[in-house]
Structure 1
Amino acid sequence: MMLVCHSVMNISCVESSRSHDVRVSLYSLMVIIILTTLVGNLIVIISISHFKQLHTPTNWLIHSMALVDFLLGCLVMPYSMVRSVEHCWYFGEIFCKIHTSTDIMLSSASIFHLSFISIDRYYAVCDPLRYKARMNIWVTFVMIFISWSVPALLAFGMIFMELNIKGAEEMYCKHIYCKGGCAVFFSKITGVLAFMISFYIPGSIMLCVYCRIYFIAKGQARSIKGTSQKLQTGLEERNGISQSKERKAATTLGIVLGVFLICWCPFFVCTIMDPFLNYTIPLALNEALIWFGYLNSTFNPMVYAFFYPWFRRALKIILFGKIFQKDSSRCKVFLDSNP
């Protein structure tokens, strides 16, 4: 017997036919992803908020991104989990729109933050003398404001004004829409628009910035290597730490770019292709790719925070309860001048 999500069978979505064991396995996996996302990003938020030494423009960007990823794990992933496993939506049509808008907003905001952090690192590595003048707290505030406001306007405006189905109303009503479901639907125009704003433009910025940092660091290393031994010794003493930071920044950005592309590229490619394929991509595949994209928010604190010694020191202070001691906010969690 076919199970349905709504009492009116002829307009109801079809419930998942997965076995009990498969559902338990999927729920367990998704709960692990949600908890890892929440814990990892919460530790980043607490660390940067609590320790005064971490109150820098770069870290406030990371703090804001961690907040976005934490909210994604808290407000979006649990409901997406039920939808993905059961293929039914039990929370009403209004909340479906709120959930879809929040999902698009927070996922896009996380990607925007990644793009702005790469720009910040570009100036820190490639123009360190003017970095503090260019990347002050007000510039950081503008970056954070854009990272939250543009995705919010795009997501809530598109979903609540139903612009996402504009131009494909007949297809949506006859072949996609069903009672008891909450599918994320894009027409050809909005699919391309979402692809460009949420993925292609931020991803291109990250790629260009990474390539620029890589070639500058490589050029500086070649320049030092080609200098005479006497001059080279002096340069090594003055530039050793700087060169090490350049390599570290290039490596970290490379990993960030790789994780970003691996997690989000499949979903956005399917998003832009599905309308041109008459929406033939299976629902199960689309749900799996959405969760693959969510993993970017799970990995963000690992890539951006666990790579830095200051985070490991802050984590140790938090885990051992030293954070509750008097003046713990003034503890030194990094040794050099740039966290």
Structure 2
Amino acid sequence: SLRGFLALLWLSSRKVVPAAMQLCYENINGSCIKTSYSPALRVILYLAFGSGVVLAVLVNLLVMISILHFKQLHSPANFLIASLACADFLVGATVMPFSMVRSVESFHSCFDMSFCYSSIFHLCFISIDRYIAVTDPLVYPTKFTLSVSGICISFSWLLTITFSFSLLYTGVNDDGLEELVSALTCVGGCQIAVNQTWVLIDFLLFFIPTLVMVILYCKIFLVAKQQAREIESMNKTESSSENYQARVSKRERKAAKTLGIAVIAFLISWFPYFIESIIDAFLGFIVPTHIFEILIWFTYYNSAVNPLIYAFFYPWFRRAIKLIVTGKVFRGHSSTIDLFSEQIKVLD
């Protein structure tokens, strides 16, 4: 790692190179130091990281299949969730496996920024969707349409991909750090050095959507509390339209509560990592490598958490998973199954 190579430079300047120190490429000058683990610890790390990879890939794949296959789930809000699951699936399929090798064997991979930021913006747009649904449930279908959902999905992907690739390929992230990057650059490592300006921009890309989510969910729960009191005060003589509005409000509040839990899990996973990034940029990359690895894997595991939250709170999602796992989705007319009914019938 970069920090390990800095230690090697310090030792070399004093002509002290431990015999037990291993390099990623022993026959190449300028090789990074290889972090060595015992065979038992290496197996444990691979099992821990590998389980996260499998979990993130499988559960997000189930979310995508459920929403795309069952017509009853074709709604603007669910398409946002499916797109979020796609971002988390790509984290599990393309980022986590390489990061697992990087963490255990000390090789590095640096292309996870786009998918991770995409997850953040998807959660932000989902919070906006839930706010509209809870505060005005009857008008909500006319406000948050499929075209609006498509715009949100496109923005979440295009902005993050454009930003990430522009940042890394122009090299502006290490402006002013040329001497440090030159001193720390080693063969076998590609941990990205980000200067103070761009680490603050990175933080803002995290902080602004997060602030929007927190504000909206605080408002959602205040509105939900007020609606709950209004529903309790309703008497049996109310019209059917008022009863319908009460049912709709209850359903939207439950969805908002579920996604609010997902936002809390997101904050727990991501906030420590961004704090570490700021500390590193302003204090000269002093955070130990193992702390960095722990925090980055906290963010990766968040990609596997959201589908588990859906499975715990949504009966329709558990029914969809059962149909997928048992292969009943391949039977005739399975896409029209009523997932909201406790009794599911699949036509042959």
The verdict on a shared fold, with TM-score over 0.5 as the criterion, is yes
Partner of 2:54: 35
Identity %: 43
Deviation at 1:7, TM superposition (A): 3.7
Rounded Cα–Cα distance in structure 2 between residues aligned with 1:8 and 1:144: 48
1:119 to 120, 124, 128: 128
1:200 aligned residue: 207
Partner amino acid, structure 2, of 1:219: Q
Find the counterpart in structure 2 of residue 81 from structure 1. 100
Q: CA deviation at 1:303?
A: 1.8
Aligned to 2:297: 291
Shift of 1:234: 4.4
Q: State the distance in 2 between where 1:246 and 1:140 align.
A: 17
Give the letter aligned to residue 50 of structure 1: H
SS in structure 2 of the partner of residue 167 of structure 1 = coil
One-letter code aligned to 2:102: R
Runs of 5+ consecutive residues of structure 2 not aligned to the other structure: 1-19, 343-348
8 Å contact kept, 2:53–2:92: yes
Q: Which has the larger radius of gyration?
A: 2
Q: Does 1:17 align with 2:17?
A: no
The 8 Å contact of residues 210 and 253 in structure 1, kept in 2 or not, is answered as: no
CA distance in 2, matches of 1:9, 1:281: 27
- d(CA) in 2 for partners of 1:200 and 1:8? 44
Shift of 1:177: 2.0
Cα separation, partners in 2 of 1:155 and 1:266, compared to 1, 3 Å: same
- Out of 212, 220, 227, the position equivalent to 2:227 is 220
**1-side partners of 2:226 and 2:246: how far apart?**
15
Q: What secondary structure, in the 3-state scheme, does the structure 1 residue paired with 2:193 have? A: coil
In 2, distance between residues paired with 1:202 and 1:117?
11
Q: CA deviation at 1:251?
A: 2.3
Query: Which 10-residue stretch deviates more, 242-251 or 325-334?
Result: 242-251
Q: Secondary structure at the match of 1:201?
A: helix
CA distance in structure 2 between the partners assigned to 1:246 and 1:65 by the alignment: 19
CA distance in 2 between counterparts of 1:212 and 1:246 reads 14
- 1:255 aligns to 2:261 (yes or no): yes
* 1:283-336 Cα deviation digits (max 9, x unpaired): 121111111001110101112354222211211211222111111111111259
Q: Larger % of helix: which?
A: 1
**Structure 1, unpaired ranges of 5+:** 90-95
Q: 1:243 to 1:143 in 2, by over 3 A?
A: closer
Q: CA deviation at 1:220?
A: 2.6
Letter in 2 for 1:281: V
Q: 1:333 to 1:246 in 2, by over 3 A?
A: closer
- Are residues 4 and 234 of structure 1, via their aligned partners in 2, closer, same or farther at CA, if it must alter by over 3 Å? farther
Equivalent AA in structure 1 for residue 120 of structure 2 = I
SS in 1 for 2:313: coil
8 A Cα contact 1:217 1:246, kept in partner: no
CA deviations over 1:53-74 (Å, ceiling 9, x no partner): 1111111111111111111111
Cross-structure match for 1:92: none
Q: Is the 8 A contact 2:173 2:198 kept in 1?
A: yes
Deviation track 1:69-101 (CA, whole Å, cap 9, x = no partner) reads 111111111110000112224xxxxxx4xxx23
Residues 72, 107 of structure 1: 8 Å contact kept: yes
Aligned residue in 2 for 1:93: none
Q: Aligned in 2, Cα 1:243/1:53: closer, same or farther, shift over 3 Å?
A: closer
Counterparts of residues 33-112 of structure 1 (less than 5 Å): 33-89=52-108, 96=109, 100-101=110-111, 103-112=112-121
Deviates more, 1:302-311 or 1:64-73: 302-311
Structure-2 residue corresponding to 1:151? 160
State the Cα deviation string for residues 178-234 of structure 1 (Å, max 9, x = none).
21112132111111111111x101111110110010111112334455x5xxx5444
Q: Does 1:274 align with 2:280?
A: yes
Distance 2:73 2:273 in 1: 34
The structure-2 alpha-carbon separation of the partners of 1:329 and 1:243, relative to structure 1 and needing over 3 Å to count, comes to: closer
1:167·1:187 contact (CA, 8 Å) conserved in 2? yes
Contact 2:134/2:253, CA 8 A, preserved across alignment:
no
Query: Alpha carbons of 1:290 and 1:45: their partners in 2 closer, same or farther (altered >3 Å)?
Result: same
Counterpart mapping for 1:122-137 below 5 A: 122-137=131-146
Aligned length: 320
2:191 counterpart of 1:172: no
Compute the displacement of 1:243 (Å): 4.6
Deviation at 1:129, TM superposition (A): 2.3
Residue 127 of structure 1 aligns to which amino acid in structure 2?
A: D
1-structure distance, mates of 2:186, 2:94: 24
Distance 1:234 1:315 in 2: 40
